[in-house]
Amino acid sequence: QRHLYAANVAKAKNAQEPTPVFPIANLQGGMDLDMLHFTTARFRQYGKESGIHASHLVIVLRALLQQVKVVDLLMDSKDADTKDCGEILTQNLIKEDVLGHLTWIMNHFRSSGHDPRVMSYSVEVFHFMLRCMKRLAAKMGQTPETLEFQVEKGRGRSTTSVDKEIASLACAATVENLFHLLEKYKRHSPQLNSMLVKLLYQIIRVQPSNIVVFFELSYFLRINRMWADPLLRDKHAGRRYQEMVQLLQYILRQFFKCAEKNKMVFVELLFRKVPEK
């Protein structure tokens, strides 16, 4: 339905006609609150509750990703009723603590034993969830950093925000998993690479001290190995990886800026920030 809608939007644009409204009624059975609650329940069941049941979790994440992508379309609609529907669905997804469970999955993911799609789908869902939260904040005239959302955690309730969710990813194990995924850049679509780079940037910038998680010799060796790839140096093929190259350059620049003030940071390179698996 999303692809058909995208084709209709492109057709209307070429004909200089008004953008059509997304036909949410056609997806009612797959996008109502009952189905959303069903999907998030299975997400919790095969994620945190079962310690990552990879084969089942991949299927649930794919379904959840499609739902979140539709919600993102609804949030971007010019039609007030459609946008309101997107807001309700966004608030319910946040309330179900989808982001909190994604954070847990990205932290406990093991590249040696889990399907890599668990990580890549988690990054995509996280990206679109943050985008929906930012759209909602913009509509309410608030910044994403200050707008608080209600979340149900276990038997209690709490609040969250875009910054809080990003800050929860600032864990050495999570960053290690994200960077491991980044190293597979040749296998990813340009969209996934971009989402991954943006997420790492956000983790670094949400708290200035977060950059130190990359101040480790193993990261520098991996960055050097990526830079040595002829594909990244190619004038034409390398353009699709320019965003990633800029991130790697940024990490190195920040290290040497830090080294100007603190020479002991060179010693810090020798110490692992995450326990050996």
Confidence grade of residue 277 (pLDDT, cut at 50, 70, 90): very low
- Local structure of residue 269 (DSSP, 8 states): T
Mind listing the pLDDT tens digit for each residue in 123-182?
999 999 999 999 998 888 888 878 889 898 776 778 899 999 999 999 999 999 999 999
Residue 79 in this model has a pLDDT that exceeds 90: no
Mean pLDDT over the full length of the chain? 89
Residue 107 and residue 170 in contact, taking contact as beta carbons nearer than 8 Å? no
C-alpha distances in Å from residue 119, one per residue of 54, 179, 271: 10, 11, 26
Confidence grade of residue 25 (pLDDT, cut at 50, 70, 90): low
Confidence grade of residue 275 (pLDDT, cut at 50, 70, 90): low
Confidence grade of residue 29 (pLDDT, cut at 50, 70, 90): low
Mind listing the pLDDT tens digit for each residue in 97-115?
999 999 999 999 999 889 9
Residue 104 and residue 47 in contact, taking contact as beta carbons nearer than 8 Å? yes
Tell the residue number behind the tokens 């200050």, with chain if given. 146
Helical packing angle, 80-95 and 54-75, nearest 10° = 150
Q: What DSSP element (H or E) covers 152? A: strand 149-153
Please give the Cα distance from 102 to 98 (Å, whole number): 6
151: left (phi over 0), alpha (psi -120 to 50) or beta: beta
Residue extents of the structural domains in the chain: 1-168, 173-277
Residue 187 in this model has a pLDDT that exceeds 70: yes
Q: Residue 33 is encoded by which pair of tokens?
A: 């609150």
Residue 276 in this model has a pLDDT that exceeds 60: no
Please give the angle made by the CA atoms of 127, 66 and 34, to the nearest 5 degrees: 110
